[in-house]
Amino acid sequence: MTVLQKRVQVGINGAGPAGLFLALLLRREGIESIVLDSRERGAIEETIRAGVLEQWTADLMRELGVGGRMDKEGHFHRGITLQFLGERHHLDFVDLTGGKQVIVYPQHEVLKDLIAELLAQGQDIVFGVKDVQLHDIEAKQPRLTYTRPDGKACEIQCDFIAGCDGFHGPSRQAIPKELRREYQKVYPFGWLGVLVEAPPSYHELIYSNHERGFALLSTRSDTVQRMYIQCDPPHTSKGDDIANYPDERIWDELHARLDTADSTLTEGKIFQKGIIGMRSFVCETMRHGNLFLAGDAAHIVPPTGAKGLNLAVGDVLRLSRALTQFYKSGDAGKLDSYSAEAVRRVWKAERFSWYMTTMLHRNPEESDFEQRIHLADLDYVAHSQAAATALAENYVGLAVDL
């Protein structure tokens, strides 16, 4: 069988946020790469994903020339609202952080912008590949092999491989299990998310701790809103099934958890709904040989802290600087320190996501005492500028120290 061979500097496995941002960052420095993904382009661009962009992520998109649609269609939020014990408390991030804010702009729209720009610049992206395997990752020239959609076998020889293929991809598995330092927490609850054809019910995100469980009011556009309620996790003995949630029950739960004496949700047609489980996961071994992990391949956060996409971009910003230094000067110092430095930032994001998740959800495994502690936490944040500032600076994004 004929194997098509190609030589590039960096092979990128995965066309999610980490892989696409990395490709664009490397192109800016004249570093050649190829991007592989098992999904077709349409599946990547049309799979609806929520997205909250931290201030620095939005600034980077503008710097890379892919921020035009974001600035036109994104929703700029200067803060969030915490709701508990029937009352709402606004946290003004702009005031608390010296001018920083977040932008609600769906992840799949970010991916559309990145793919369009990369293809316009001539980037090699191969969609719909099969049987991706990593070889010789401890050698000077690691390889990626895969099968193209037309059935032809291909081999990519490169200097480095970036594993950006998510939690279930082959990149992390290419590191011997005994060498991977991994940590995980699975939460005893999940989220039921819906997309609704309706105008916004509120001007910013509302995070609600309610006796019936957590709820989140978010937005997607002027005509489509995204909302979530806490439920039992899927795929467990006590797991919830979406069939147990007709639209009427969903609206009953949303109203119970988010309405106040002077405010009620605007209902509309629910056109998408689903249940997801929640976990925290970290693989501290973000480098092995000439394989570097980034994004969900190395870490997962529960969505409560809005960190997933931003954390992935932080990884590849650091990795791109390290690769640039190597190719321009031959200095591998930043490559050698990539894993240790990236992990420090990862754990801070994991801490914040865990903090928001535990503070806002009703955990069936906790005592009444612990639930009251979480309400005290919320009360402290709502009435202490120091506590509110700490939450705000984490939410808008900690600096990526390079």
307 is catalytic: yes
Q: Collect all residues with Cβ–Cβ distance below 8 Å to 261 and sequence separation of at least 6.
A: 86
Burial of 191 (0-12, 13-18, 19+ CB in 10 A): buried
Selecting among 100, 299, 307, 374, the annotated active-site residue is: 307
Widest CA span of the chain, in angstroms?
A: 71
Angle between helices 17-28 and 308-329 (to 10 degrees): 30
202 is catalytic: no
Residue with tokens 């990128």: 12
* Distance of alpha carbon 258 from alpha carbon 227, whole angstroms: 10
* Distance of alpha carbon 208 from alpha carbon 229, whole angstroms: 9
Selecting among 245, 299, 303, 374, the annotated active-site residue is: 303
77 is catalytic: yes
Selecting among 75, 77, 100, 361, the annotated active-site residue is: 77
* Distance of alpha carbon 82 from alpha carbon 298, whole angstroms: 30
Q: CA geometry: angle at 239 spanning 234 and 241, to 5°?
A: 70
203 is catalytic: no
Measuring CA to CA, how many Å separate 95 from each of 54, 103, 158, 361, 400? 16, 16, 47, 27, 21
φ, ψ of residue 185 to 5 degrees: the values are: -135, 125
303 is catalytic: yes
Q: Assess contact for 328 and 320: CB atoms under 8 A.
A: no
**Which residue numbers are catalytic?**
77, 207, 303, 307, 395
